[in-house]
């Protein structure tokens, strides 16, 4: 979705305020840069201010109309709850705009670390053919080779072509802003190899082997964790319900239910506890397989 018109409108309305907030909240501004949103922190903060202002006004007007005119609550109660809706809309906007860069930076980190071996392999082939580092990153910035590295490579190209950085300074800046510590070490190694006059292709091949070895270890550990998770799933959702059903049946026959209807307990188990537990297991499984 193209948000450029929204960013433009927001910056025209809140540009000066957002620039002051960018300087005051340097940590948040750094987070926006690490998320590679394609917009300056001041532009992102401007959109936050615009979204928060519009949503809070809409929430205030809608809640007041619904409470006073439709439901007929007293005027002071309507004003009080409308003020709560106003504050709530602002808090939701702040939470969403603060969380999104964190999630995006985390996704970039996971994808880049997963593809780091292939990134190093591609760069090693290009370097062996005599292509200079800047042209390698320019090729990666096209987005049709290894998409996970595209925003970082595009930032390097932008810094060189539009901001006047030399290639090594742009790579060092990308390393500093990288959400992945492994990618940061990888880029710093490229710069150090070039500075010392080393063989870049040899360094990239070594980095490729190291990245692939690390990924194999990660996948092996993840497979072992998922194996334990699968056993727990079978115990909870296969053996567990069978055991509880047999136990409740015996309790009903022997009259040891304590006045509680076994059918009600089974319905609670089937229609409430098991679906909630299943959702929890899905969340845990997703957390155990990042980037999956």
Instruction: Kindly calculate the radius of gyration of the chain based on its CA atoms and give it in whole angstroms.
Output: 28
DSSP-derived letter for residue 258 is T
Q: Clarify whether residues 8 and 103 are in a common domain.
A: yes
Do 38 and 70 fall into the same domain? yes
What angle is formed at CA 269 by the lines to CA 266 and CA 274, rounded to 5 degrees? Answer: 145
Question: What percent of the chain clears pLDDT 70, i.e. is strictly above it?
Answer: 94
Name the pLDDT band for 116 (thresholds 50, 70, 90).
very high
3-state secondary structure of 90: helix
Buried b (16+ CB within 10 A) or exposed e, 212-248: eeebeeeeeeeeeeeeeeeeebeeeeeeeeeeeeeeb
pLDDT given at position 126: 92
Split at pLDDT 50, 70, 90, the class of 2 is: low
* Other beta carbons less than 10 A from residue 45's beta carbon: 26
Rounded alpha-carbon distances, angstroms, from residue 118 to 148, 288, 292: 11, 23, 17
97-101: Cβ within 8 A, 24+ apart:
97/44, 97/47, 97/48, 97/51, 98/28, 100/35, 101/31, 101/32, 101/34, 101/35, 101/37, 101/44
In this prediction, residue 102 carries a pLDDT of 93
Domain of 183 in residue numbering reads as 110-213
9 and 104, same domain (yes or no):
yes
Question: Which sign, positive or negative, has the C-alpha torsion 11, 17, 18, 19?
Answer: positive
d(CA 76, CA 68): 9
Residue 249, number of CB atoms within 10 A of its CB: 12
Average pLDDT over all residues of the chain: 85
- On whether both 124 and 39 belong to a single domain, the answer is no
More confident residue, 261 or 168: 168
Residue 164 and residue 195 in one domain: yes
- From the list 259, 265, 268, the residue with the least C-alpha distance to 246 is 265
pTM of the complete model beyond 0.85: no
And the tokens for 230? 């699968």
220 and 209 within one domain: no
Query: pLDDT tens digits for 49-91?
Result: 999 999 999 999 998 888 777 777 788 888 888 899 999 999 9
pLDDT tens digits, 130-166: 889 899 999 999 877 888 899 999 999 999 998 888 9
pLDDT of 23 above 70: yes
Decide which of 213, 228, 256 is a domain's last residue. 213
Q: Confidence band (pLDDT; 50, 70, 90) for 282?
A: confident
Clarify whether residues 68 and 97 are in a common domain. yes
- The tens digit of pLDDT for each residue in 208-265 reads 999 989 888 888 888 888 788 778 777 777 777 778 777 777 776 766 555 567 777 7
Count, residues in the chain: 292
- Domain-ending residue, one of 167, 188, 213: 213
Q: Which two tokens stand for residue 257?
A: 């239910």
Question: Within this chain, do residues 14 and 83 fall inside the same structural domain, yes or no?
Answer: yes
202 and 232 co-located in one domain: no
The pLDDT of residue 255 is 64
Domain co-membership, 99 together with 81? yes
Confidence of residue 124 (pLDDT cuts 50, 70, 90): very high
How far is residue 199's CA from residue 203's CA, in Å, rounded to a whole number? 6
CA 221 – CA 232 distance, rounded (Å): 17
User: Which is nearest to 218 in space by CA: 106, 113, 108?
Assistant: 113
Helix (H) or strand (E) holding 135: helix 133-140
**Predicted confidence (pLDDT) at residue 185 exceeds the cutoff of 60:** yes
Token pair belonging to 89:
């809309």
- The total domain count for the chain is 3
What are the percentages of helix, strand and coil residues in the chain, rounded to 5? 85, 0, 15
Q: What is the pLDDT of residue 203?
A: 93
User: What pLDDT band is residue 285 in, cutting at 50, 70 and 90?
Assistant: confident
Same domain, 153 and 209: yes
Last residue of a domain, one of 80, 108, 136: 108
């Amino acid at each position: 979705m193209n948000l450029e018109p929204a960013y433009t409108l927001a910056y025209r309305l809140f540009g000066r305020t957002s620039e002051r907030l960018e300087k005051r909240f340097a940590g948040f501004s750094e987070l926006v840069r690490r998320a590679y949103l394609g917009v300056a922190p001041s532009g992102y903060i401007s959109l936050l201010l615009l979204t928060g202002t519009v949503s809070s006004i809409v929430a205030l007007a809608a809640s007041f109309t619904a409470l006073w005119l439709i439901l007929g609550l007293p005027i002071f109660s309507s004003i009080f709850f409308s003020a709560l809706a106003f504050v709530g809309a602002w808090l939701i906007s702040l939470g969403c705009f603060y969380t999104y860069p964190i999630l995006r930076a985390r996704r970039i980190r996971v994808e880049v670390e997963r593809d780091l071996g292939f990134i190093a392999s591609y760069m090693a082939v290009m370097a062996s053919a005599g292509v200079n580092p800047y042209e390698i990153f320019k090729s990666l910035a096209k987005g049709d080779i290894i998409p996970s590295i595209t925003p970082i490579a595009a930032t390097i190209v932008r810094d060189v072509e539009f901001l006047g950085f030399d290639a090594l300074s742009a790579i060092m800046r990308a390393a500093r802003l990288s959400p992945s510590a492994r990618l940061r070490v990888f880029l710093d190694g490229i710069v150090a190899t070039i500075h010392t006059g080393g063989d870049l292709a040899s360094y990239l091949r070594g980095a490729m082997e190291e990245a692939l070895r690390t990924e194999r270890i990660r996948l092996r550990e993840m497979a072992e964790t998922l194996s334990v998770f699968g056993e727990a799933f079978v115990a909870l959702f296969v053996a567990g319900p069978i055991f509880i059903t047999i136990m409740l049946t015996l309790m009903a026959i022997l009259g040891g239910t304590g006045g509680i209807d076994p059918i009600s307990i089974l319905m609670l188990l089937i229609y409430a506890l098991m679906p909630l537990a299943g959702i929890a297991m899905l969340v845990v499984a997703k957390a155990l397989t990042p980037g999956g």
